Structure 1
């Protein structure tokens, strides 16, 4: 709850001290670090690279621009900055610019402060209201960001030179808060010029008004490195105003890639951890492929959408065929079919897109098989396929149907060992709408996990050229 203080007199009696925005952020960040707390929840893979640079920039009080390709978590990182603000901060009630009661800025607020004295009404803003985000688009105007003359106020009878005829834009209305500008170079150059005074002198100028409003704002931005150059779409003086330019990156470690997928994906069925590993390896293979346009990047959203798609395929099969709602290897095919449009291929690869995606998916699957089944002797399973025995799976083949069609082994314990190597850890749904009867379904999902583990073993044997595989009409036959 907001503090129970409603007037300037009560605020002074409470001992409240006014501090600048940068001092506030610096103090809260240092307090969190001293207490061993993590000020950056939900961010993976930046601990030793991006985060230390950002923390040093904030302690120094610098405006910050994050440079990186799409899907690297720039916006998410910017949004966590609001957690470094005080939970509640006082403002003059009804103030357009969220002025501190101790320091009214506009002529209207100064007149109110002089008239009301200690009875000046005080309101409280939550930290979430002090973070403002703007997607920079070419049609953004100076009026949107800084302000302009309001013709309606002039029509009401005010003089054109009266400061009260000004309608303030996004930046002044974010006074004593954080302004985040996504894709900064997409702003037209004349709009970038309008930000120069805000960034350096911390004031604003609106048309011909002699107006000086010392704003207390922290400007943070995101940009693509290709655009954020003197030859790109950013003017040099604005580039010079940012105190810190920090490069972001995709997760460097496989574990961080998996953690991002697990955290962000909203799943409608169980997805075993091993499938997330394949998706993560697949995504990383795309980022290192010469056939993919790396300037546009391969967003983390690619793997997230892939996880959601294979979960949806499992839910579809579970509903149509009364199967266990557990994703299996066969569901990865459905993900690849719909995700190709999320990446850009090099110009010389026209017509080979599906072939390239399938090749990289097989590579990711083979790497995962080696990591999970390394040292396990699967030759008895190969021997069980004697030329007549086959195993059929597919997007509409239930787990029980697949398991029933498996060959019998001299040592049935091999199947148990295969399942044990995969484990039953799942990235479970976080979508409430998808959890109808989910508790009962998860309790009966052993067959789905078992089928998924054996499918992966068979696919590994096929990739090692120990078994054959034929696919068509939604079915896959190993033999």
Structure 2
């Protein structure tokens, strides 16, 4: 729980004496972002791969005070990016205690708060709201109503004797309740067009209309939204007047290089076993291959969540194998990559005509990723002594019931194995599982280069001549 500091003013009079003047939300973000840029602080914690592309555009939009829509494929981090906007707000902001819309004690906007401020004067009680409470998120669904976003007449208040034209009969929706904060609408095109119309006044005139009554509430909100290009152009669309009111439309993208893809997986994945850097690179290249493959429907995209789920699946396969073989610690090896295609094929869309060949395509692209990673890791390293040893009868078996020590025991002492481990970032005194993972990667690369054979049954894979 976030505890309000005792040193903060508790009445409007104390607030005024302390110099807390009302500041528009756009100005607040503008000032705090400039301060972060000047001090060299990271204003976007947890955002990977956007530093030279998306973030400069977003920073310019915020400094200009614009409402923003992020346009990009699924799983590109749009929602994560919007949630970091709350970090640009003041840590604590004053509100009228008990006010429905979180109004500033020195700038009330509803009739009830204006009347209360006039009656109490400097004794108006002040509460404090943390920045995390000033970010409001709504998933746009087709059943979202104007009442949900803007508000509606409250029949209970009417029954109490108030007239329909009285602003105090209104039950306010999500947008007015976010006054002096940020409103994020996910998948904006999925919002019915007649509902999008209700946002026009909020974004331009900053007032709201409910049941034919215009309430002149000078709302102060920053409206941000996300949209998927497929929805943006086909299934749904952002109506032209609303699109015109967004000051900036910013395109997001998937990680541009392997390093960024690995960084995203490291940050987001909850791994139940150790997955070494080489295998994370394999998964990153696998996902990048999927995004370039003509058999994958690229209009739906290959989400970054796929890479995260793939890493978690590999870790789970390693943990299961460790439980079967008694290994400790559980360390993922290339054999665990076999679990990915069968488990995750439902997370991506294939082009028509590829029915029944999904796993075949995924296995092929995974092998390409393994070959590319091994080529990068073992560049300039002569693996001929390893292939010669296997060809001379030192067959190597691996599988979900083969412990790492058996993989290593199948090979003679070879200097090249130390080089292989070193290239994989493993030293000779580390657990057998890490060394075996590096050796298996080298063996698989030799197989893919057609310098070794590989025979597989249900539980075991054997590398031979």
Counterparts of residues 219-230 of structure 1 (less than 5 Å) = 219-229=223-233
Using the TM superposition, name which of 227-236 and 210-219 deviates more: 227-236
What is the Cα deviation at residue 230 of structure 1?
Answer: 9.2
Who is 1:432 aligned against?
Answer: none
Are residue 450 (structure 1) and residue 435 (structure 2) matched? yes
> 1:386-444 deviations in whole A, cap 9, x for unaligned?
3643110012211112222x2325xx22211111110139xxxxxxxxxxxxxxxxxx9
What is the Cα deviation at residue 276 of structure 1?
Answer: 0.4
Is the partner of 1:66 in helix, strand or coil? strand
Correspondence for 2:97 among 93, 100, 104: 93
Are residue 201 (structure 1) and residue 186 (structure 2) matched? no
Correspondence for 2:243 among 227, 239, 244: 239
> 1:74-132 deviations in whole A, cap 9, x for unaligned?
00110000010000000111111111111111110011101111100111110000000
What is the Cα deviation at residue 312 of structure 1?
Answer: 1.0
Conservation of the 8 A alpha-carbon contact between 2:183 and 2:223: yes
What is the Cα deviation at residue 247 of structure 1?
Answer: 0.3
> 1:209-233 deviations in whole A, cap 9, x for unaligned?
2421110000000001233349952
Who is 1:333 aligned against?
Answer: 338
Measured in 1, the distance between the counterparts of 2:275 and 2:393 equals: 33
Are residue 397 (structure 1) and residue 402 (structure 2) matched? yes
Who is 2:424 aligned against?
Answer: 422
User: CA 1:363/1:206 → structure 2, altered by over 3 Å: closer, same or farther?
Assistant: same
Are residue 118 (structure 1) and residue 103 (structure 2) matched? no
> 1:256-313 deviations in whole A, cap 9, x for unaligned?
1110011110111111000000000000000000100000000000000011111111
User: CA 1:32/1:319 → structure 2, altered by over 3 Å: closer, same or farther?
Assistant: same
Correspondence for 2:384 among 379, 385, 391: 379
Correspondence for 1:356 among 354, 358, 361: 361
What is the Cα deviation at residue 188 of structure 1?
Answer: 0.4
Measured in 2, the distance between the counterparts of 1:230 and 1:197 equals: 26
Are residue 310 (structure 1) and residue 314 (structure 2) matched? yes
Who is 1:466 aligned against?
Answer: 451
What number of residue pairs does the alignment pair up?
458
Conservation of the 8 A alpha-carbon contact between 1:328 and 1:451: yes
Correspondence for 1:322 among 318, 321, 326: 326
Instruction: Identify unmatched segments of 5+ residues in structure 2.
Output: none
What is the Cα deviation at residue 159 of structure 1?
Answer: 2.8
Q: TM-score, normalised by structure 1?
A: 0.93
What is the Cα deviation at residue 352 of structure 1?
Answer: 1.1
Who is 1:477 aligned against?
Answer: 462
Is the partner of 1:205 in helix, strand or coil? strand
Is the partner of 1:330 in helix, strand or coil? helix
Counterparts of residues 69-148 of structure 1 (less than 5 Å) = 69-148=73-152
Who is 2:264 aligned against?
Answer: 260
What is the Cα deviation at residue 152 of structure 1?
Answer: 1.9
> 1:147-181 deviations in whole A, cap 9, x for unaligned?
00111222333333322211000000000000000
Is the partner of 1:385 in helix, strand or coil? helix
What is the Cα deviation at residue 469 of structure 1?
Answer: 0.4
Instruction: Identify unmatched segments of 5+ residues in structure 1.
Output: 426-443
Q: TM-score, normalised by structure 2?
A: 0.96
Q: CA RMSD in A?
A: 1.5
What is the Cα deviation at residue 374 of structure 1?
Answer: 1.0
Correspondence for 2:297 among 286, 293, 300: 293
Are residue 51 (structure 1) and residue 58 (structure 2) matched? no
